Structure 1
């Protein structure tokens, strides 16, 4: 089975997809998440907390699900204080969401896309999977949400 042109994502209030939906200009996916620089794999290194950067992310899409733009801002690292960084990201994200005219939280359907910002990968990226997973999938980076057949809007973390 191949990856569809657009992938459904279910809105789940009070969980990982609570800030997705539609607005006057199309669709959006927003989150507060942590990102490591692309290719950084020294999970056991002494400086992982300085590498783990927290950010506010707002991806916007047209009605057909094509990526329009992404607004990303880092707000601090875990080393500087995770609670402070996430609180700043949540406040910023709230301001961005409040600025979306006619915002409604609900299910979305978006096409795969990739954005790189300050050395980190963001986007819904098609990836080969184990045959047990149907051989194909898409992962939302850096949020770590995986989408697989039967492409019903549900995700794995």
Structure 2
């Protein structure tokens, strides 16, 4: 079992994929997301451990990854000012690549490592029945959106 070469992602206004679509140079996926650095043991101080990032991934019209902008805005414990800073960065980046149209996209798996955090659409298909999702599976990190058959752009969280 294998992933399709290109994986559709459905645009959902006011939800987890509300900042995806097309721009004159191709497709994009933008987000403000929380993530933990690899190897961090999350405990009672999770707000100090969760890092807030602004992210803009760009793809060509065939879904190939062209590049990513990532900004570490601060830790969750610093409150709304960190989220607002990340949102301003995303708004600025979208303005820079604009005009943009929010709509469904279709992209290929990719990976970007930044600041000890994995960003990307990763093939997590496993042959091990203990670790399988029941077939081919791609996971978007760090958002943890899982894509699978019937490959219609819908995802599991």
TM-score, normalised to structure 2, is 0.91
Note the residue ranges of structure 1 that are not aligned, 5 or more in a row: none
Q: SS state of the match for residue 76, structure 1? A: strand
Q: How many Å apart are 1:143 and its aligned residue?
A: 0.8
1:133 Cα deviation after fit: 3.2
Contact in 2 for aligned 1:33/1:54 (Cα 8 Å):
yes
Q: 1:56 matched to which residue of 2? A: 54
Q: CA offset at residue 6 of structure 1? A: 0.8
Structure 2 residue ranges without an equivalent (≥5): none
The answer as to 2:123 corresponding to 1:103 is no
Query: Over aligned residues, Cα RMSD in angstroms?
Result: 1.6
Equivalent pairs, count:
154
Counterparts of residues 69-148 of structure 1 (less than 5 Å): 69-81=67-79, 83-128=80-125, 133-148=133-148
Q: Is the CA contact 1:113–1:125 (under 8 Å) kept in the aligned structure 2?
A: yes
The whole-number CA distance in structure 2 between the counterparts of 1:57 and 1:101 is 16
Match of 1:28 in 2: 28
How far has the Cα of 1:78 moved from its partner?
1.4
How far apart are the structure 2 equivalents of 1:150 and 1:93? 31
TM-score by length of 1: 0.91
